[in-house]
Structure 1
Amino acid sequence: MLIRLLRTYLRPYRPWLVTVVVLQLIGTLAALYLPSLNADIIDHGIAQGNTSYIMSTGARMLVVTLVQVVTIVAAVYYGARAAMAFGRDVRGAVFHQVGMFSAREVGQIGAPSLITRSTNDVQQVQMLVMMSTTMLVMAPIMGVGGVIMALRQDVELSWLMAVSVPVLLVGVLLIARRMVPQFRAMQDRIDGVNRVLREQITGIRVVRAFVREPFETERFAGANTALTDTALRAGRLMALMFPFVMLVLNASSVAVLWFGGMRVDNGSMQVGALTAFLTYLMQILMSVMMAMFMVVMVPRAAVSAERIAGVLDTESSVVSPADPVTELPAHAVLEFDGASFAFPGAEEPVLRDVNLRVEPGQTLAVVGSTGAGKTTLISLIPRLIDTTSGVVRFGGVDVRDIEPALMRRRMGLVPQKAYLFSGTVATNLRYGNPEATDDELWRALEIAQARDFVEAMPDGLNSPISQGGTNVSGGQRQRLAIARALVRKPDVYLFDDSFSALDVATDARLRAALRPHTSNAAVVIVAQRIATIIDADQILVLDDGAVVGRGSHDELLASCAAYAEIVESQLTAEEAA
């Protein structure tokens, strides 16, 4: 998964990566050349008192050093640009894919996990790309070049490399092997912390209302401790690696000085060559350490890549048609023909064999007990989910054959949980129609019975709205969501229990104001309150996903026991009549 992800999203940045490799090659060769020049200064300059040789060779060292600095800085610059662009593209791809998901896929993966995958997981792979362009490219060049240059200085001491490098390699690999499962577990622990924290922030009012702060504190502490323990285990192994590397480096330095000193003493080796050999050995061991550091990073990035690929490879159950219908009649009829819906692996469908027809200008009300499938029925119309059998038609065309954006532009949905975005009243209302004028916004607010409280706000339409609309009441939030749908002026209005937070008087005024505004549109209302739907042209009664009653209020009172039971639970016999 990691290789596939890198190959796919780094392809546009191949010129930058090639530039990085060339620059790293030049910079590393410069770094390998410097110890030889230093050895020449010692052996041919200092030892012989040749000042001019020291000056000329020192000038060459300065030039080589300048080349090394410039090329390494440029390599890091282009590598960072490639890594950041890679991260941006992957995050964009994940965001786009999640935007195409239906409610089924979002629920299957989970919102906290989706957030982690688009942030922390992308960051892990992005960091691997960044480190690869700086370390992984340099390590093999420096390792191989260091061996060649060390052998040029003295072959007799090469046995020290044959001992030091394998010892360092085996030790770091053993440590890295134990770190892999810790990194895999860490991503799951991060998901857990995000899930708990998101639930607590979203449900803070419930937590406080039931005085559950101590319980939630313990729950977060449990998730946080699990993440901390996993991170500490990985950190201890990481901390163990560096002392081990330094032990090998220092032991190798002592060995080179010990055995090399004896060769200098008997005249088999010059001091400059010994100094250069020691530097090359350090460079070789450092290159091995850099390579091993990358080995440690790869497993965590591989885990993250698998999680990212899990999102990118998940196909939405709502698929755009290959040859979509792009035109629909101005005022279309909405039909359900044997529509059913079942979640994968479920024993029973959520909806079974629903048949209905809503003409423009008609109002269909849907009632039923909790879990009867009312919201599922509403969701099938704008294709938030698709039927598993049967057909939903709009304008005589299967909604699965209509271009999704066109279909949804003809809908005005007010969801069960009214959600507002951070911004202002105006930006939230124009979410339904970006071209709407201020007069149109005020008109929609007036119909939705929201004009009075918006006018009372300090800045009117420009008054701020916090994320989720938490700075307004539940009833105000619902009325603003209704106004947002009205601004759109759709052909089908879908109200999913959208009047539940309104008092009876406001509900009645809103429906009275809404009636002339929707005279040419089909209206589907899901409601629990009988007073909200009592005047509907047709009422559909759902029970356990099946239609058990259909007709007007009076007809259903006489023929449908389930409807009569709902009515009796809310109204007296006289009120119902």
Structure 2
Amino acid sequence: MNKKLLRSVREYKKQSILAPLLVILEVLMEVLIPLEMAKIIDIGIAQGNLSYIIQRGIILVVMAMLALFFGVQAGNMAAYAAAGYAKNLRHDIFYKVQDFSFKNIDHFSTSGLVTRMTTDITNVQQAYMMSIRLLARAPFMIILSWIMTLTISKPASILFLIAIPFLGGTLLFIAKAAHPHFIKVFDEYDVLNNSVQENVNASRVVKAFVREDYEIGKFHGISGYVYELFTKAEKIVAWNAPVMQFTMYTVVLILVAIGGRSIVGGTMEVGELTSVIVYALQIIGSLMMVTFVFVMIMIAEASTDRIVGVLNEVPEMQDQADAVKNVADGSIDFDHVDFSYGGEGGNLSLKDINLHIKSGQTVGIIGGTGSAKSTLVQMIPRLYDVTGGSVKVGGVDVREYNLEALRDQVSMVLQKNVLFSGSIYENIRWGDEHASDEEVQRVCRLAQADGFINEFPDGYNTMIVQGGNNVSGGQKQRLCIARALLKKPKILILDDSTSAVDTRTDALIRKAFREEIPDTTKLIIAQRVSSIEDADQIIVLDDGKIAGVGTSEELLKTNEIYREVYESQVKGGGEDE
């Protein structure tokens, strides 16, 4: 088991130590039981001594009860330790992911992280539970059973010395042969989970285009490949049982032959032969346990590597020891900013961006698809780090801020709006978990969401289903704007966040911004000119470069891109009435 992962055992170390200790006590009782059975047969029954049989029978029952008690307690401890270990692993991975930047998250697909948190951790949990129980049980059982056999019959003990390496080596070979197939399975699990997640999230599109059969076929293809990999692995592992049975029966037959001659020769009693056969079964059973655990560990090893990959991922953005925790104002400066999603040497999405935005200004951002509008604003709350140059908020480089302090003062309504399962109150309070009902209702009025919320039978207590699929696109946008406003930020960024509302509602939202939050810097990415026409300045982006900056009137005179967009929408009647 990986040392890094074992750190997650933490408060469950006690149970992890007690489990194998209790297993050893259980094994000790189980090994002594055949000796008592031999005495009952060879002395009590052979001599017809009823009192001796009762006496040894009581001892036998006590041993059996103790073995049962130790076994149950060991099982409880192992289950408790393994479940706690898995809980801590999930906790550690989830907390680690919270520190990831978007660039870190890009290294792992969503489905990949989900698989690690579920299937992979379950594999590790099962392997850990089996390890602390069976890996303690099997060696002690084999050693003690062999010692007991040695005290009864040296030829039988020599037979075990031959059978144990043969059987152990064969089963080890089987386990190693199956291992590569198990490794492949978990990579395909990511693909399978991604297919399911994508299908569920896009269910409306699938149904609208009547593509259910296509999606079913795609799922069957991936699922079938996982089936093939598992089948190949299980076919190899399936040799375990026949090899075990063949070895077991062969050993028993040889033992009967040896024991029969010894009994005839008077060097062994019937009860002793019975004990030796029981010890043989215990040894072979222990070897099978070792193999079973070994296969599980091999499966878990693939999962371990995937989990360690997440835990070893170094967060790209980390707070400095002397990180700034106070954002002075909402002023924003871009100083020769370059950015590439591929890092140094990659294709630049932003190229030599120079901007100065005063605190409290309303700034519009417009440009064609792929002009890097969203990329530009993601530099401000440091969702990504610049490749070159610097971005300053309140006169301080964003890399010098405490991340939480910076993002607390930058509210961002993303292009892809996300609502969570829960009531409207709970969703809005993501902006401020301590906000009163009155504060929530106030920001909803500013975002023009109050009207449709009150039309719901349960009003603000209306439950939002997963993904917000029970509200329209425009309603979702207004709820997300309200959530952002509740933070009372120094900078508010709307990334095409009013595209699904009509122009009248859009105008009312912008009017509320001017009157209610005049000191907040507002950046509005929009496709509609009317959404940014009255901004203090408008930034025109083209292919990651600034093609123009100015008011609407100035850009109409100096910027061809803005003029074309303006004329196509306003003069061409492209805007909603």
For normalisation by structure 1, the TM-score amounts to: 0.96
Aligned partner of 1:225 in structure 2 is 224
Q: Structure 2 regions of 5+ residues with no counterpart?
A: none
Kindly state the Cα deviation for residue 475 of structure 1 after the two structures are TM-superposed: 0.6
The DSSP-based 3-state class of the residue aligned with 1:178 is: helix
Is 2:335–2:354's contact at 8 Å kept on the other side of the alignment? yes
Aligned partner of 1:383 in structure 2 is 382
Mapped pair 1:363 → 2:370: no
Q: Deviation digits for residues 317-371 of structure 1, max 9, x if unmatched?
A: 2222222112233x34222222221123663211122222222221111111111
Aligned partner of 2:339 in structure 1 is 341
Partner Cα distance (1:56, 1:223) in 2: 64
Q: Deviation digits for residues 444-477 of structure 1, max 9, x if unmatched?
A: 1111111111001011110110111000001100
Please say which of residues 253-262 and 400-409 is displaced more in the overlay.
Answer: 253-262
Partner Cα distance (1:63, 1:575) in 2: 90
Partner Cα distance (1:332, 1:213) in 2: 49
Mapped pair 1:505 → 2:504: yes
Please say which of residues 277-286 and 206-215 is displaced more in the overlay.
Answer: 206-215
Mapped pair 1:246 → 2:245: yes
Paired amino acid for 1:51: L
Paired amino acid for 2:205: V
Mapped pair 1:396 → 2:400: no
Aligned partner of 1:523 in structure 2 is 522
Aligned partner of 1:159 in structure 2 is 158
Aligned partner of 2:438 in structure 1 is 439
Q: Deviation digits for residues 417-441 of structure 1, max 9, x if unmatched?
A: 1110000000001110112111111
Mapped pair 1:111 → 2:110: yes
For 1:384-463, list aligned pairs within 5 A: 384-463=383-462
The DSSP-based 3-state class of the residue aligned with 2:335 is: strand
Kindly state the Cα deviation for residue 550 of structure 1 after the two structures are TM-superposed: 0.7
Is 1:416–1:498's contact at 8 Å kept on the other side of the alignment? yes
Is 1:338–1:389's contact at 8 Å kept on the other side of the alignment? yes
Aligned partner of 1:281 in structure 2 is 280
The DSSP-based 3-state class of the residue aligned with 2:486 is: helix
For 1:464-503, list aligned pairs within 5 A: 464-503=463-502
For 1:54-133, list aligned pairs within 5 A: 54-133=53-132
> Which aligned runs of 4 or more in structure 1 are off by greater than 3 angstroms?
573-576
Partner Cα distance (2:216, 2:355) in 1: 49
Is 2:138–2:286's contact at 8 Å kept on the other side of the alignment? yes
Aligned pair count?
A: 574
Aligned partner of 1:144 in structure 2 is 143
Partner Cα distance (1:353, 1:109) in 2: 30
Aligned partner of 1:8 in structure 2 is 7
Partner Cα distance (2:413, 2:150) in 1: 76
Please say which of residues 192-201 and 206-215 is displaced more in the overlay.
Answer: 206-215
Kindly state the Cα deviation for residue 303 of structure 1 after the two structures are TM-superposed: 0.7
The DSSP-based 3-state class of the residue aligned with 1:8 is: helix
Paired amino acid for 1:372: S
Partner Cα distance (1:207, 1:15) in 2: 52
Mapped pair 1:372 → 2:385: no
Partner Cα distance (2:72, 2:369) in 1: 64
Is 1:75–1:133's contact at 8 Å kept on the other side of the alignment? no
Aligned partner of 1:215 in structure 2 is 214
Please say which of residues 210-219 and 239-248 is displaced more in the overlay.
Answer: 239-248
The DSSP-based 3-state class of the residue aligned with 1:361 is: coil
Kindly state the Cα deviation for residue 82 of structure 1 after the two structures are TM-superposed: 1.2
Please say which of residues 242-251 and 40-49 is displaced more in the overlay.
Answer: 242-251
Kindly state the Cα deviation for residue 69 of structure 1 after the two structures are TM-superposed: 1.3
Q: Deviation digits for residues 105-131 of structure 1, max 9, x if unmatched?
A: 222211110110111111111111111
Partner Cα distance (2:212, 2:425) in 1: 36
Is 2:409–2:489's contact at 8 Å kept on the other side of the alignment? yes
Paired amino acid for 1:90: L
Kindly state the Cα deviation for residue 236 of structure 1 after the two structures are TM-superposed: 2.2
Structure 1 residues 284 and 6: CA distance shift in structure 2, 3 A: farther
Please say which of residues 246-255 and 452-461 is displaced more in the overlay.
Answer: 246-255
The DSSP-based 3-state class of the residue aligned with 1:250 is: helix
Q: Deviation digits for residues 219-248 of structure 1, max 9, x if unmatched?
A: 111011111111222222233322321222
Kindly state the Cα deviation for residue 12 of structure 1 after the two structures are TM-superposed: 3.9
Is 1:76–1:133's contact at 8 Å kept on the other side of the alignment? no
Partner Cα distance (2:412, 2:393) in 1: 15
The DSSP-based 3-state class of the residue aligned with 2:299 is: helix
The DSSP-based 3-state class of the residue aligned with 2:2 is: helix
Q: Deviation digits for residues 146-183 of structure 1, max 9, x if unmatched?
A: 11111111112223213322332232122212210111
The DSSP-based 3-state class of the residue aligned with 1:571 is: helix
Is 2:184–2:229's contact at 8 Å kept on the other side of the alignment? yes
Identity %: 37
Partner Cα distance (1:127, 1:244) in 2: 25
Partner Cα distance (1:4, 1:18) in 2: 16
Aligned partner of 1:322 in structure 2 is 321
Aligned partner of 1:235 in structure 2 is 234
Partner Cα distance (2:509, 2:429) in 1: 20
Kindly state the Cα deviation for residue 508 of structure 1 after the two structures are TM-superposed: 1.6
Partner Cα distance (1:231, 1:26) in 2: 37
Mapped pair 1:307 → 2:324: no
Is 1:449–1:509's contact at 8 Å kept on the other side of the alignment? yes
The DSSP-based 3-state class of the residue aligned with 2:385 is: coil
The DSSP-based 3-state class of the residue aligned with 2:541 is: strand
Aligned partner of 1:175 in structure 2 is 174
The DSSP-based 3-state class of the residue aligned with 1:348 is: coil
The DSSP-based 3-state class of the residue aligned with 2:65 is: helix
Aligned partner of 1:37 in structure 2 is 36
Tell me how large the CA RMSD over aligned residues is.
1.7
Paired amino acid for 2:449: A
Kindly state the Cα deviation for residue 574 of structure 1 after the two structures are TM-superposed: 9.8
Paired amino acid for 1:544: D
The DSSP-based 3-state class of the residue aligned with 2:122 is: helix
Partner Cα distance (1:437, 1:539) in 2: 36
The DSSP-based 3-state class of the residue aligned with 1:433 is: coil
Partner Cα distance (2:146, 2:563) in 1: 90
For normalisation by structure 2, the TM-score amounts to: 0.96
Paired amino acid for 2:368: S
The DSSP-based 3-state class of the residue aligned with 1:47 is: helix
Q: Deviation digits for residues 31-55 of structure 1, max 9, x if unmatched?
A: 1111111111111111111111111
Kindly state the Cα deviation for residue 140 of structure 1 after the two structures are TM-superposed: 0.6
Aligned partner of 1:184 in structure 2 is 183
Is 1:360–1:519's contact at 8 Å kept on the other side of the alignment? no
Structure 1 residues 317 and 568: CA distance shift in structure 2, 3 A: farther
Partner Cα distance (2:182, 2:346) in 1: 37
Aligned partner of 1:290 in structure 2 is 289
Kindly state the Cα deviation for residue 560 of structure 1 after the two structures are TM-superposed: 1.6
Q: Deviation digits for residues 236-270 of structure 1, max 9, x if unmatched?
A: 22333223212222222222123212221221211
Partner Cα distance (2:321, 2:122) in 1: 35
Partner Cα distance (1:507, 1:43) in 2: 97
Q: Structure 1 regions of 5+ residues with no counterpart?
A: none
Structure 1 residues 539 and 79: CA distance shift in structure 2, 3 A: same
Partner Cα distance (1:11, 1:485) in 2: 39
Partner Cα distance (1:242, 1:573) in 2: 78
Kindly state the Cα deviation for residue 575 of structure 1 after the two structures are TM-superposed: 9.8
Kindly state the Cα deviation for residue 5 of structure 1 after the two structures are TM-superposed: 3.1
Partner Cα distance (1:566, 1:211) in 2: 36
Paired amino acid for 2:551: S
Aligned partner of 1:268 in structure 2 is 267
